[in-house]
Structure 1
Amino acid sequence: MNDRRRRGRSGRRPTRGPSDAGASGGEHLTEYRRRRDFSRTAEPKGREPADDSAPRFVVQIHDASSLHFDFRLESDGVLKSWAVPRGPSTDPGDKRLAVPTEDHPLDYRNFEGVIAEGEYGAGTVIIWDEGRWAFEGRGSAADALAGGHLSFRLDGHKLHGGWALTRFRQNAWLLVKRDDRHANDHGTPDPARARSARTDRTLRQTAADAAHASAVGDDDEADADPS
């Protein structure tokens, strides 16, 4: 797989579709919060309100019990989320399995780091891509998702142009790139070598930095102990 990175953004800013964001999304986050001990994980509880700009998306690489990509779209005040084992592909011929997961809070799009051992989803997370997205179709994105087919455009650092999510059975969707000028045969990068869109770090570098920060913190606490 190719690890080429597309850094450019198009100048077009998509507009927000009807019902693409809500006020808080709190009622959707019960399952997300139930699974996490926020005294042990740095993941956000979910406090960021929706804003008036175009809805956002994020693609995170998550080195948990299995290495996978998490694809998240802002809608109805939360991040609608899918685990994509092989990651989004820029090749329209690739149909990538996308398994829906619990809704995540909007501020999860900023999360990059290490989820502690023993916690749900324990492992390293990096932000592989992020940007704006726009619903394409009639009605609302929420209605399209409920109906099992969402057509949309992405304007990210690496992913651009038209895409579709289609449900083909219960709890199983396909994520497919539209055949447009942004399509190519590059496929998906090797997740172990892919770099964060924010920090340019790999998963391994992110984990090493977190371990170093933890060790420094432990040393500082030991130095401050008067006993």
Structure 2
Amino acid sequence: MADAANPRERPVFVLHEHRKPRPHFDLRLEEGGALRSWAVPRGLPDDPAHDRLAVAVPDHDLEHATYTDEDKDIADSGWWELVDRTPRRFVFVLHGQSGARRYALIDTGRDWLLHLTKEQHPA
């Protein structure tokens, strides 16, 4: 785990907003020297009662954490921390531009579900 006193050692996350080929978001979490990535067609969930589909896509280079172009913007970015991991689920907190939110990515065997947890990170 990264040293909380040194933010440069914290793993980064980025939420890219794409306009093409059709509007969607990509959630990217730094892990193992790359950005693990999921396409999230409807963006991050804002209600624990409504999970969002998350489709695993190929990892990206770390330089992609700051990449933008005419069809892609950064919707949010910051750092993330792992709370819990099992073979089929991991729980993490995104520390983004508007605060911290706790999510779970759940492997369904085909795709993933992105879930906003009821229990949120303390302010």
Residues 175-194 of structure 1 mapped to structure 2, 5 A cutoff: 175-181=114-120
What corresponds to 2:55 in structure 1?
A: 99
* 2:13 maps to which of 39, 50, 57: 57
CA distance in 1, matches of 2:37, 2:120: 26
What corresponds to 1:160 in structure 2?
A: 100
CA distance in 2, matches of 1:67, 1:84: 10
CA distance in 1, matches of 2:78, 2:8: 15
- Identical-residue share of aligned pairs (%): 36
Q: How far did residue 137 of structure 1 move?
A: 2.4
Alignment of 1:137 with 2:94, yes or no, is no
| Length, aligned pairs only | 118
What corresponds to 2:2 in structure 1?
A: 16
Residues 159 and 68 from structure 1, CA distance in 2 versus in 1: closer, same or farther, beyond 3 angstroms?
Answer: farther
| Residues 16, 53 of structure 1: 8 Å contact kept | yes
| Residues 68, 85 of structure 1: 8 Å contact kept | yes
- Look up the equivalent residue of 2:15 and give its one-letter code: V
| Residues 73, 80 of structure 1: 8 Å contact kept | yes
CA distance in 2, matches of 1:93, 1:16: 31
Q: Helix, strand or coil for the counterpart of 2:9?
A: coil
Q: For structure 2, which runs of at least 5 residues remain unmatched after alignment?
A: none
| Residues 129, 159 of structure 1: 8 Å contact kept | no
CA distance in 2, matches of 1:103, 1:79: 5
User: TM-score, normalised on structure 2?
Assistant: 0.87
What corresponds to 1:148 in structure 2?
A: 88
Q: How far did residue 159 of structure 1 move?
A: 5.6
Residues 101-120 of structure 1 mapped to structure 2, 5 A cutoff: 101-114=57-70
CA distance in 1, matches of 2:47, 2:99: 11
Q: Helix, strand or coil for the counterpart of 2:119?
A: coil
| Residues 41, 53 of structure 2: 8 Å contact kept | yes
| Residues 70, 81 of structure 1: 8 Å contact kept | yes
Q: How far did residue 176 of structure 1 move?
A: 0.7
Q: For structure 1, which runs of at least 5 residues remain unmatched after alignment?
A: 1-14, 18-50, 115-123, 139-143, 183-227
Larger Rg: 1
Q: As a proportion of its length, which structure holds more strand? A: 2
Q: How far did residue 52 of structure 1 move?
A: 5.7
- Look up the equivalent residue of 1:128 and give its one-letter code: A
| Residues 93, 103 of structure 2: 8 Å contact kept | yes
User: TM-score, normalised on structure 1?
Assistant: 0.48
The CA RMSD over aligned residues, in Å, is 2.0
| Residues 95, 176 of structure 1: 8 Å contact kept | yes
CA distance in 1, matches of 2:52, 2:2: 26
